[in-house]
């Protein structure tokens, strides 16, 4: 063992030990002066001065010096560093860390049986002084036992392991192995990696590198070629044939290995088989299959597409939630004197929307009723301005959470902004005519804003391709999302309560511009309508290990508990109950099993659950492999690494873990208490003698 001081300059404070020395050497006892009326009859005695040359009260001095020394030592932040292993051991002994891959792909064939056999073989090779730690890993890694050489304990730990539904990551497992071997006091260290070495999990980082001198052994459990079929994805296609909503299931099936003919594919809802079909899948390829449209049930149901006769259970099925598609209700308010079919661009663009679908109702602005506004999530004032009473109702509805889109074309006059009553981001101004310049274009877009975020990538379309021959500049002081090439505002946002208003400085009917004739018109209109409705795409399908998003929390009918936080209970496909979201609980649900989870508010077992489908990560179904030699070479240190724990932990990290200063301060307190008691006792004894 050796000491390392993180703040060695504080050691200069040891000169403070001179204080108790000075006190003990030069401190004189106080003498009381007694007044005497006359000294004539007293004999003169010469005064003899003697300076103190030696310490008195040695034990008291030592306690004071010890307290000062300990206090200074605490400030220097000492750290205990182990000596090198070569000097600390007198004999042999190995530190063995077995990293056991238990990801989903290890379920294939006899891979798991071979992995357990490899662990037992490693246990059998342990010598009397050897120790071993077993670390199973998938997306995460954790040691399941303390380092031990007891074969019975290690075998019991091995027998308790099972493969899981998670994916593969090697970096977390190697990081755990690095900490274990770096903190070992044994001379020889070895890391055994038992895996199928799936390519998708090869994610080595700098933290994966092992200290110098560590032996790495790769044990490959794969024998023979893989033959497997899996349902990779399911897409729900909405239709309204027959007047009601129907969903058609479109599934994609992948195949690893030779071609397979006549694979049976089954579609079921709530455990009830809806349709069976047969599918031919090419060699090392994929195929798609469509099932007939099915009426959507009134409440969400768990559904599944499953393959029959497959050797790997889990990948042969894909779970999803069969439920009504969320629909955004849109009220299209046209000017009363608008020519017929002048709204065809806006109306048709919204009617063909499918993500989400838009339920479009068309009204003349003069015929708007409060009931129309109350039933709509988005109100589009298409070159039209309503009465003052309707404007007041719109303001109230926006504050409740609805959205309004105002397209300021030729039929909205500057006089209308006087009755806006706070509804518009900017007043409606006179139009700018740029017909003689062949029109203006959009020169600026805030692509980081959710209303225009789809135009942030290079392949999303170019809104600057549209030409604007006339427009009304949006002179908003803030919230401008787009500008024309002359710098004037083109699109601005105003937040009112829970809702929002978007003001567009031109028409949407193709009369003042050619925007509706451009390919970007459809995504532009769909995106601003989704944003105005505050629509968040419902996501009911996740992969194992992926945290369920906040959208699920918002959709679960939850009530805060007494701590002000919401606690929920999720029932896993195997029946396990998992609590999350509450005080002292995990923040989110991180599913570890494939299947359908039921999420409820804690303490409400009778309420209708929120269904969330979880599936195997598609990357785990690819079975592509890498050469284990790459892993062995990849974990070797590029520089010489010390053989003690400093190879991993820095002195600050070791000091934080050891916290020696805290124990030293306890010793300081004890020394001061003992000093006070001893000083009191000495003082009392001298007083009694006097």
CB 178 within 8 A of CB 211: yes
Residue 418 has pLDDT above 80, yes or no: no
Residue 386: phi and psi, rounded to 5, are -85, 180
Residue 376 has pLDDT above 70, yes or no: yes
Q: What is the mean pLDDT of residues 200-213?
A: 88
Q: Using pLDDT thresholds of 50, 70 and 90, give the confidence band for residue 111.
A: very high
Q: What is the mean pLDDT of residues 486-509?
A: 94
* HEC per residue, 180-222: HHHCCCCCEEEEEEEECCEHHHCCCCHHHCCCCCCEEEEEECC
Q: Using pLDDT thresholds of 50, 70 and 90, give the confidence band for residue 670.
A: confident
3-state secondary structure of 533: coil
CB 505 within 8 A of CB 408: yes
Higher pLDDT, residue 89 or 191:
191
Task: Tell me: cis bond preceding 356? Omega within 30 of 0 counts.
Answer: yes
The pLDDT of residue 639: 39
CATH 2.60.40 fits 541-617, yes or no: yes
Q: What is the mean pLDDT of residues 610-635?
A: 92
- Cα separation, 362 vs 371, in Å, equals 14
The pLDDT of residue 404: 96
- Which of the residue ranges 78-82, 398-402, 612-616 would you say has the lowest mean pLDDT? 78-82
pLDDT tens digits, one per residue of 327-367: 899 999 998 888 888 889 999 999 988 788 899 999 999 89
Q: How far is CA 423 from CA 403, 429, 502, 529, in A?
A: 11, 15, 10, 17
- Cα separation, 428 vs 442, in Å, equals 19
The pLDDT of residue 563: 43
DSSP E strands, 520-608: 541-543, 568-571, 577-580, 595-601
Q: What is the mean pLDDT of residues 310-330?
A: 88
The pLDDT of residue 646: 35
The pLDDT of residue 85: 42
CB 254 within 8 A of CB 286: yes
**Residue 416 CA from chain centroid, whole number:** 48
Residue 642 has pLDDT above 60, yes or no: no
- Cα separation, 387 vs 683, in Å, equals 97
- Cα separation, 531 vs 525, in Å, equals 10
- Cα separation, 209 vs 629, in Å, equals 14
CATH 2.60.40.1190 fits 228-322, yes or no: no
Q: What is the mean pLDDT of the chain?
A: 84
CB 201 within 8 A of CB 169: yes
Domain regions of the chain by residue span? 1-29+50-82+644-665, 86-225+625-643, 228-322, 328-532, 541-617
The segment with the largest mean pLDDT, out of 20-34, 395-409, 665-679, is 395-409
DSSP string of 408-446? --TTS-GGGGGG-TT-SSS---PPEE-GGGT-B-EEEE-
Q: What is the mean pLDDT of residues 495-509?
A: 94
Residue 385 has pLDDT above 50, yes or no: yes
The pLDDT of residue 420: 76
- Cα separation, 687 vs 681, in Å, equals 10
The pLDDT of residue 90: 39
- Cα separation, 379 vs 403, in Å, equals 6
pLDDT tens digits, one per residue of 258-281: 999 999 999 999 999 999 999 999
Q: Which residue has the tokens 């600057």?
A: 464
The pLDDT of residue 87: 39
Residue 487: phi and psi, rounded to 5, are 95, -10
Fold match flag (86-225+625-643 vs 541-617) = no
Q: Using pLDDT thresholds of 50, 70 and 90, give the confidence band for residue 162.
A: very high
- Cα separation, 250 vs 425, in Å, equals 44
The pLDDT of residue 435: 87
Q: Using pLDDT thresholds of 50, 70 and 90, give the confidence band for residue 44.
A: low
Q: What is the mean pLDDT of residues 234-251?
A: 84
Q: How far separated are the first and last CA of the chain, in Å rounded? A: 52
Pick from 277, 270, 276: nearest CA to 297 = 270
- Which of the residue ranges 125-139, 167-181, 282-296, 340-354 would you say has the lowest mean pLDDT? 340-354
CB 403 within 8 A of CB 378: yes
Q: What is the mean pLDDT of residues 67-93?
A: 63
- Cα separation, 540 vs 611, in Å, equals 7
**Residue 163 CA from chain centroid, whole number:** 24
CB 286 within 8 A of CB 253: yes
Residues with Cβ within 8 Å of residue 393, at least 6 apart in sequence: 370, 373
What's the CATH code, domain 86-225+625-643?
Answer: 3.40.50.410
3-state secondary structure of 270: coil
The pLDDT of residue 337: 82
pLDDT tens digits, one per residue of 437-488: 889 999 999 999 999 988 887 677 788 899 999 999 999 999 999 999 999 9
| This model's pTM is above 0.75 | no
The pLDDT of residue 325: 81
What's the CATH code, domain 328-532?
Answer: 3.40.50.880
- Cα separation, 352 vs 221, in Å, equals 52
Residue 324: phi and psi, rounded to 5, are -60, 140
CB 82 within 8 A of CB 182: no
In the chain, the percentage of residues whose pLDDT exceeds 90 is: 54
Q: Using pLDDT thresholds of 50, 70 and 90, give the confidence band for residue 324.
A: confident
Helix ranges (H only) for 519-627 are 521-532, 550-555
- Cα separation, 447 vs 481, in Å, equals 8
Residue 93 has pLDDT above 50, yes or no: yes
Residue 203 has pLDDT above 70, yes or no: yes
3-state secondary structure of 391: helix
- Cα separation, 647 vs 644, in Å, equals 6
- Which of the residue ranges 10-24, 295-309, 471-485, 545-559 would you say has the lowest mean pLDDT? 545-559
Residue 170: phi and psi, rounded to 5, are -90, -30
Residue 225's Cβ-side half-sphere holds a number of Cα atoms within 13 Å equal to 6
């Amino acid at each position: 063992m050796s000491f390392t001081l993180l703040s060695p300059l504080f050691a200069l404070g040891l000169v403070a030990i001179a204080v108790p020395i000075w006190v003990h050497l030069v401190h004189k006892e106080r003498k009381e002066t007694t007044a005497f009326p006359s000294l004539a009859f007293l004999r003169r005695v010469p005064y003899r001065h003697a300076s103190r040359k030696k310490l008195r009260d040695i034990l008291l001095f030592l306690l004071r010096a010890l307290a000062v020394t300990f206090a200074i030592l605490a400030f220097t932040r000492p750290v205990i560093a182990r000596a090198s292993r070569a000097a600390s051991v007198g004999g042999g002994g190995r530190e063995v860390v077995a990293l056991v891959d238990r990801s989903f792909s290890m379920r294939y064939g006899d891979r798991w049986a071979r992995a357990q056999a490899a662990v037992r073989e490693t246990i059998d090779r342990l010598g009397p002084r050897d120790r071993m730690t077993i670390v199973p890993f998938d997306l995460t890694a954790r040691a399941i036992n303390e380092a031990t050489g007891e074969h019975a304990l290690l075998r019991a730990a091995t027998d308790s392991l099972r493969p899981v539904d998670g994916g593969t990551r090697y970096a977390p497992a190697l990081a755990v192995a690095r900490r274990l071997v770096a903190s070992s006091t044994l001379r020889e260290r070895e890391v055994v990696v038992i895996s199928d070495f799936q390519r998708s999990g090869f994610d080595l980082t700098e933290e994966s590198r092992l200290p110098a001198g560590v032996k790495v052994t790769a044990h490959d459990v794969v024998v023979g070629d893989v033959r497997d079929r899996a349902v990779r994805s399911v897409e729900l296609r909405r239709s309204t044939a027959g007047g009601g909503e129907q969903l058609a299931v479109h599934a994609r099936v992948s195949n690893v290995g030779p071609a397979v003919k006549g694979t049976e594919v089954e579609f079921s809802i709530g455990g009830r088989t809806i349709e069976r079909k047969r599918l031919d899948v090419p060699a090392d390829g994929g195929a798609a299959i469509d099932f007939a449209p099915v009426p959507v049930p009134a409440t969400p149901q768990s559904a599944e597409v499953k393959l029959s006769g497959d050797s790997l259970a889990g990948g042969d099925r894909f779970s999803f939630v069969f439920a009504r598609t969320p629909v955004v209700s849109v009220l299209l308010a046209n000017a009363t004197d608008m020519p017929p079919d002048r709204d065809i661009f806006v109306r048709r663009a919204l009617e063909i929307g499918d993500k989400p679908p838009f339920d479009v109702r068309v009204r003349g602005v003069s015929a708007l009723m409060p009931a129309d506004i109350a039933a709509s999530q988005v109100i589009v004032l298409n070159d039209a301005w309503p009465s003052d009473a309707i404007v007041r109702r719109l303001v109230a509805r926006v504050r409740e959470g609805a959205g309004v889109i105002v397209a300021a074309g030729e039929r909205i006059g500057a006089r209308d902004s006087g009755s806006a009553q706070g509804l518009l981001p900017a007043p409606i101004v006179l139009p700018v005519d740029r017909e003689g310049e062949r029109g203006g274009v959009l020169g600026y877009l805030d692509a980081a804003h959710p209303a225009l975020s789809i135009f942030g990538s290079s392949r999303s379309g170019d809104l600057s391709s549209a030409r604007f021959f006339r427009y009304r500049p949006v002179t908003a002081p803030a919230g401008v999302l787009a500008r024309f090439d002359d710098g004037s505002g083109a699109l601005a946002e105003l937040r009112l309560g829970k809702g929002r208003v978007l003001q567009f400085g031109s028409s949407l009917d193709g009369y003042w511009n050619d925007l509706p004739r451009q390919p970007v018109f459809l995504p532009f209109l769909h995106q601003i309508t989704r944003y105005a409705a505050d629509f968040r795409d419902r996501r009911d399908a996740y992969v194992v290990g992926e945290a369920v998003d906040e959208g699920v929390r918002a959709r679960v009918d939850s009530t805060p508990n007494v701590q002000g936080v919401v606690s929920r209970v999720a029932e896993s496909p195997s029946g396990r109950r998992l609590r999350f979201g509450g005080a002292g609980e995990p923040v989110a649900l991180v599913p570890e099993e494939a299947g359908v989870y039921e999420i409820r508010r804690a303490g409400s077992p009778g309420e209708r659950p929120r269904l969330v489908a979880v599936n195997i990560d598609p990357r785990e179904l690819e079975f592509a492999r890498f050469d284990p030699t790459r892993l062995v070479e990849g974990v070797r240190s590029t520089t010489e690494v010390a053989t003690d724990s400093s190879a991993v932990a820095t002195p600050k990290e070791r000091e934080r873990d050891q916290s020696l200063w805290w124990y030293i301060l306890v010793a300081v307190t004890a020394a001061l208490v003992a000093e006070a008691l001893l000083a009191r006792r000495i003082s009392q004894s001298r007083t009694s003698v006097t």
